Amino acid sequence: MSPRRFPLYLPVLACLLPALAGAGERGARIVIDPGHGGAKEGAKGPGDLWEKEVALQIAQRLREKLEAAGSEVFLTRDRDTLMALSERVEFSNIQRPDLFLSIHANSMPTKRLRERTEGIETYFLSANASGEAARAVADRENAEAPTARAARGHSTLAFILDDLARTEAHTDASRLAYAIHPRLVSKSGAADRGVQQAPFFVLTGVEAPAVLIEVGFISHPQEGARLGKAAYQETLAEAIADGVLAFLRETRRRDSSPSQPVAGSTAP
C-alpha cells in the first residue's frame, strides 16, 4: 500500500475498531427456569389459570427482552412439559450460564389468607430461611423433589450449602436479587415482600448466581387476575430484564477493575 494512500483508509478503520473491539465480548449466558409444568401444575389462580402457565409465559417474554439486549438465553422448558427439579439443575449447568432465574407464582392455603396476601418476593439460596413464611414457600416449591424435605437436614446438603455460602456465586446471587427486586416492585406497583433467603432445591446445585422470583400471589383474587394478563406479564418481564442487565453491567465493571474494592453490603 502506498504511504500516500494510507490516510484514505483511516476513516474506515475508525468505523471498524469499535466493532472489532466488541467482537471478542460474548453476550451473557442466562438460564430461565419456568416453574412446574405438565402434571405438576403449581398453584391455582382465578378461573383456569395455573402457575405453570404464568411462569412459562413470563419466561418467554423475558427471554425475548434479554436476547434483544444481546444475551444468549436458555429455557429449562419451552412448553407445557414435566421436568424434575434435578433435571433443571443439570440442564442449567450444562449450559455453563452466567446466571440462573427461576420464575414462580406464590399462593396461600386458606380462603382468608388468599384474599389478603399479595406481593412480590425474590429469593436467593441459604441453608436457613429468612422466616417461617419463607420456609413455607421453599417447602411448597420443593415438594416436587421426592427427597427435598428429607435432604434439608442431610449432612451432604448442609456441606454444600455451607460451602456455597463462601463462594462468589452466592455473594453475586444476593446482588442479583437486590438488582431485580426493587425494579419489579417499582414497575409493577405490587406489594414489596422483600428479598429473602431459603433452601430452594432448584437453586442448590446451580453453578452460577441463582435466584428464584415469586412474581406475585396467583391465589389473590386481584393479583392472580393481573398475572394472567399479557400487559402485566410484559411489565414483569421488562423489570426483571432491567435488573439482570444492571447486575451484568455492575459485574463487568467490577471484573474489569479487580484492584477496586467491592462493597461488603449485598443490599443496594
**38 to 8, 101, 144: CA distances (angstroms):** 62, 20, 12
> Mean of the per-residue pLDDT values for the chain?
83
Q: Which three cell numbers stand for residue 179?
A: 438488582
Regarding predicted confidence, which is higher, 156 or 67?
Answer: 67
Longest alpha-carbon distance in the chain = 84
Q: Which residues pair with 44 in a beta bridge?
A: 50
Enumerate domains of the chain plus CATH numbers.
Answer: 27-255 (3.40.630.40)
Three-class DSSP category at 100: strand
Residue-wise pLDDT tens digits, 121-178:
999 987 676 678 877 787 777 776 655 444 444 455 555 555 554 466 678 999 999 9
Q: Looking at the predicted structure, is the pLDDT value of residue 35 above 90?
A: yes
User: What SS3 string covers 171-233?
Assistant: HHHHHHHHHHHHHHHHHHCCCEEEEEEECCHHHHCCCCCEEEEEEEECCCHHHHHHHCCHHHH
